[in-house]
């Protein structure tokens, strides 16, 4: 028997329709959304035993599936991780009734905290504290560094909060969408500088030996003071 994860992979396919130059056709989107919704309805029926109250007849179910498919296309809800998260939230509900499509789409959107991100306010305060040393600072999450950089460190240092907080919030939520898509932002953190090398002065005996070795390589005659200093 195939696992739930494998069934979901089969429904979505290997590549969600994002990031292509031409973009998927309407027919491809319709087919993908229909596969996802068919899979979801089977799963959600097992989670919510009172589903018949929302889908009393086969005709009602077919109409509902068409509505769900349109909503998934409009909200670009195709990724496996999003749908898996929505099902995880669905399994935590304490009622038996089939959800609306809007409710399920909301379940597919993890909050900042769900993704391990600080709140917008906490992220903004950290950005303001560390804007003076953005390259050397240690960040609670790479997303805060990216949002700070993209908002503009000079502006964060010099302009009032009334102007900068809305700008930072907008930028931070765009970064949140990147985290939601599964992007690894750690690669955007500034690289740590290598520790500065400290050259030690060469000791007297080591210096004399080095001179003697150099004279030997050059074929010069050995000097008496190569091993002894006057």
Structure tokens at 74: 């409009």
Task: Flag residues of the chain having pLDDT under 50.
Answer: 1-4, 15, 19-21, 193, 226, 228-230
Quote the pLDDT of residue 1: 40
Q: For 221, how many CA atoms within 13 A lie in the half-sphere containing its CB?
A: 2
Cβ neighbours, 10 Å, residue 184? 9
Give the residue extent of every domain in the chain: 4-109, 114-188
Quote the pLDDT of residue 110: 87
Quote the pLDDT of residue 220: 64
Mean pLDDT over each residue of the chain, to the nearest integer: 83
Cβ neighbours, 10 Å, residue 87? 20
What are the pLDDT digits (tens) for 24-66?
Answer: 678 888 898 999 999 999 999 999 999 999 999 999 999 999 9
Quote the pLDDT of residue 114: 86
Find, among 115, 111, 32, the residue nearest to 76 by Cα: 32
What are the pLDDT digits (tens) for 166-183?
Answer: 999 999 999 998 988 788
Collect contacts of 2-7 with beta carbons under 8 A, ≥24 apart: 4/43, 4/87, 5/84, 7/39
140: left (phi over 0), alpha (psi -120 to 50) or beta: alpha
Quote the pLDDT of residue 82: 87
């Amino acid at each position: 028997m195939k696992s739930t994860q494998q069934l979901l992979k089969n429904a979505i396919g290997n590549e969600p329709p994002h990031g292509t130059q031409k973009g998927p056709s309407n027919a491809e989107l319709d087919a993908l959304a229909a596969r996802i919704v068919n899979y979801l309805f089977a799963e959600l029926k097992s989670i919510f035993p009172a589903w018949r109250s929302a889908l009393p007849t086969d005709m009602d179910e077919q109409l509902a599936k068409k509505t769900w498919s349109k909503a998934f296309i409009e909200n670009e809800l195709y990724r496996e991780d999003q749908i898996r998260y929505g099902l995880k939230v669905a399994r935590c509900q304490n009622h038996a009734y089939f959800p609306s499509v809007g409710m399920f789409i909301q379940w597919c959107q993890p909050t900042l905290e769900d993704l391990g991100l600080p709140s917008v306010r906490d992220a903004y305060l950290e950005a303001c504290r560390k804007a003076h040393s953005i390259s050397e600072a240690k960040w609670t999450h790479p997303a805060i560094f990216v949002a700070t950089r993209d908002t503009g460190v000079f502006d964060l240092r010099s302009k009032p909060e009334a102007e900068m907080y809305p700008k930072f919030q907008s930028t931070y939520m765009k970064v949140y969408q990147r985290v939601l898509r599964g992007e690894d932002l750690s690669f955007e953190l500034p690289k740590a500088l290598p520790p500065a090398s400290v050259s030690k002065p060469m000791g007297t005996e080591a210096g004399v030996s080095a001179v003697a070795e150099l004279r030997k390589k050059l074929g010069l005659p050995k000097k008496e003071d190569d091993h002894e200093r006057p």
